[in-house]
Amino acid sequence: MKPVRRVCFISAWGSPGARKARHGPSLMPGGSFEAYNNIRDILQRVAAHVDDGPCITYIGEGGSGNFVKMVHNGIEYGDMQLISQAYDVLKHVGGVSNAELAEIFDEWNKGELESFLVQITADIFKVKDEYGEGELVDKILDKTGMKGTRKWTIQQAAELLVAALTIAASLDCRYLSGLKEERQEAAKVLKEAGLKDEVQNVGVHVDKKRLIDDVRQALIKNAYQRNPNLASLVVDPEFAREMVQRQAAWRRVVGLAISAGISTPGMCASLSYFDTYRRARLPANLVQAQRDLFGAHAYERIDRPGSFHTEWTKLARQTGAGVGAFNSAAAFCYLFV
């Protein structure tokens, strides 16, 4: 009787790109651990290498390697959007030149913001345009492409009831960037309607040094290495202290950008998440009341267990608290339906 040969499957999703083809990718294998063990030496040779070893980690069973890479790409979208918005604020509100931006990002890469994205951003601002004056970054079309994994991250977040505001905002920004012709037409029509041009020469009215430091503080580094089981970064004591110390700078950057007409959806979404997550009580109680009124979805109380339903309209009219007020509210609702 011939021996039975077992087939084991493994998926090893890695980071793509021409540089990775020359120097090796970061690999995230998942699937059969037996299969991984059989080819581990090969994968370790293929992967990129840093000071502490090859850039590869076995993730787990099934398609977990693919899933981690998908989430990684989503987070990367958020990071890239935050950096691009930091650039936008510094350049158009602070009047910072590309040469200064290169120095700023080089300096940031030596501190708590040290990362691959910050490093390459500094390099981008240094490249001159071979076909004309100035830097190449200013000649690139503001229309971003995408592959699809980031959209899957948002879809999975929704399925798992996980708030991913920054990633969702970054995805929306890419969608809007694709509407180049529509945005150009909108800018033209709004200018003719009396809207002023984009921010110009704002830098002379802004404390540039303070703005640069504020923007640095608005890009916050993760803390999961200290505690991988955190429900959220906000509940890490050291990170919480940093948030408390930096939130004023964060709010100044967002407020200044809004007042100047600079779009910062990623920063705003992150700040909104923080302001929502830190609240012990939210106005969701009113939403629950609304859901119970029009759909009898029931609600819970803070002072006793169980699920409750109330005949809101009937009781409101019985109390004499104001049929007129109720009708006014109804009329208000109809205006927006």
Render pLDDT for 10-49 as a digit per residue (tens, 0 to 9).
Answer: 887 776 666 666 778 889 999 999 999 999 999 999 898 9
Mean pLDDT value of segment 50-76: 89
Mean pLDDT value of segment 138-151: 84
| Cα atoms in the Cβ-side hemisphere of radius 13 Å centred on 241 | 2
Mean pLDDT value of segment 301-321: 89
- CB environment 205-214: b (16+ within 10 A), e (fewer): ebeeeebbeb
Residue 261 vs residues 14, 92, 190, 202: alpha-carbon distances, Å: 39, 10, 13, 11
- pLDDT for residue 295: 92
Residue 33, burial from CB neighbour count under 10 angstroms (0-12, 13-18, 19+): middle
Token pair of 37, please?
């063990």
322 secondary structure, DSSP code: -
**What gap in Å lies between CA 18 and CA 29, rounded to an integer?**
20
Token pair of 25, please?
């990718």
Angle at 285 between CA 283 and CA 291, to 5 degrees: 115
Give the residue carrying structure tokens 């339903």: 309
- pLDDT for residue 199: 59
- pLDDT for residue 330: 44
Percentage of the chain exceeding pLDDT 70: 85
Lowest-confidence pick of 51-60, 175-184, 201-210: 201-210
Question: Is 303 or 203 the better-scoring residue by pLDDT?
Answer: 303
Mean pLDDT value of segment 89-100: 93
**What gap in Å lies between CA 84 and CA 139, rounded to an integer?**
15
- pLDDT for residue 19: 66
Q: How many CB atoms lie within 10 A of CB 260?
A: 18
- pLDDT for residue 315: 92
- pLDDT for residue 20: 62
What average pLDDT does the chain have? 85
Residue 59, burial from CB neighbour count under 10 angstroms (0-12, 13-18, 19+): buried
Q: Are 248 and 242 in contact (CB under 8 A)?
A: no
Token pair of 301, please?
């109380």
Question: Is 205 or 167 the better-scoring residue by pLDDT?
Answer: 167
Which active-site residues does the annotation give? Answer: 69, 76
Percentage of the chain exceeding pLDDT 90: 48
Local confidence band at 90 (pLDDT 50, 70, 90 cut-offs): very high
Mean pLDDT value of segment 296-322: 89
Lowest-confidence pick of 47-61, 207-221, 321-335: 321-335
Is the per-residue pLDDT at 253 higher than 90? yes
- pLDDT for residue 201: 46
| This prediction's pTM | 0.80
- pLDDT for residue 321: 52
| pLDDT 10s digits, 182-237 | 999 998 998 889 887 655 444 446 788 999 999 998 877 554 455 667 677 777 78
- pLDDT for residue 205: 67
- pLDDT for residue 133: 93
- Radius of gyration of the CA atoms of the chain, in A: 26
- pLDDT for residue 2: 67
- pLDDT for residue 98: 95
Q: Are 102 and 126 in contact (CB under 8 A)?
A: yes
- pLDDT for residue 323: 47
- pLDDT for residue 17: 65
Residues in the chain: 337
